[in-house]
């Protein structure tokens, strides 16, 4: 892991934690997520930022950890949100927040705990 990777992972972790806090605050309910634009926008922006930060990770780091996280899909989600936000599929974002973000958070925590740099 390069120094730049090490500096990006805490920011990715923070956005993952933010999503969890939004879910706790607004409720872990899909109907609330789809009807409350503030909730939807907050989660979408965090997912976009996670993708943006992931894009800046070194090729070596992404290659070494590709079995743990699908970096290409994470970056693809960022691009989809950035360029097609008005058409963003609420179900995909919700499933990402519920199922994938906890995995990204656990990954970041593990990598940061293990980093000896």
Q: What angle do CA 71, 97, 9 make, to 5 degrees?
A: 45
Euclidean distance between CA atoms 63 and 67, whole angstroms? 8
Read off the tokens for 80.
Answer: 């989809």
CA distances to 8, 12, 38 from 35, in Å: 32, 26, 9
The per-residue pLDDT for range 99-109, each reduced to its tens digit, is: 999 999 999 99
pTM of the model: 0.93
Read off the tokens for 106.
Answer: 């656990």
Judged by DSSP in three states, 88 sits in: coil
CA distances to 15, 40, 52, 61, 113 from 31, in Å: 22, 11, 28, 37, 36
Q: Is residue 41 domain-resident?
A: yes
Quote the domain boundaries for residue 77. Answer: 3-112
Q: Is residue 40 domain-resident?
A: yes
The per-residue pLDDT for range 6-27, each reduced to its tens digit, is: 999 999 999 999 999 999 999 9
Q: Is residue 46 domain-resident?
A: yes
Decide if 101 contacts 20 (C-beta within 8 A).
yes
Number of domains, the chain: 1
The per-residue pLDDT for range 32-83, each reduced to its tens digit, is: 999 999 999 999 999 999 999 999 999 999 999 999 999 999 999 999 999 9
Q: Is residue 117 domain-resident?
A: no
């Amino acid at each position: 892991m390069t120094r730049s990777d090490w500096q990006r992972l805490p920011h990715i972790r923070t956005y993952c934690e933010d999503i969890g806090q939004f879910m706790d605050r607004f409720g872990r309910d899909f109907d609330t997520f789809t009807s409350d634009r503030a909730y939807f926008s907050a989660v979408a922006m965090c997912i976009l930022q996670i993708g943006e930060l992931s894009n800046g990770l070194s090729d070596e780091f992404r290659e070494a950890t590709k079995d743990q996280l699908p970096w290409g899909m994470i970056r693809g989600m960022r691009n989809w949100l950035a360029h097609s936000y008005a058409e963003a599929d609420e179900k995909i974002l919700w499933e990402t927040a519920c199922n994938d973000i906890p995995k990204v958070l656990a990954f970041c925590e593990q990598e940061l705990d293990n980093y000896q740099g």
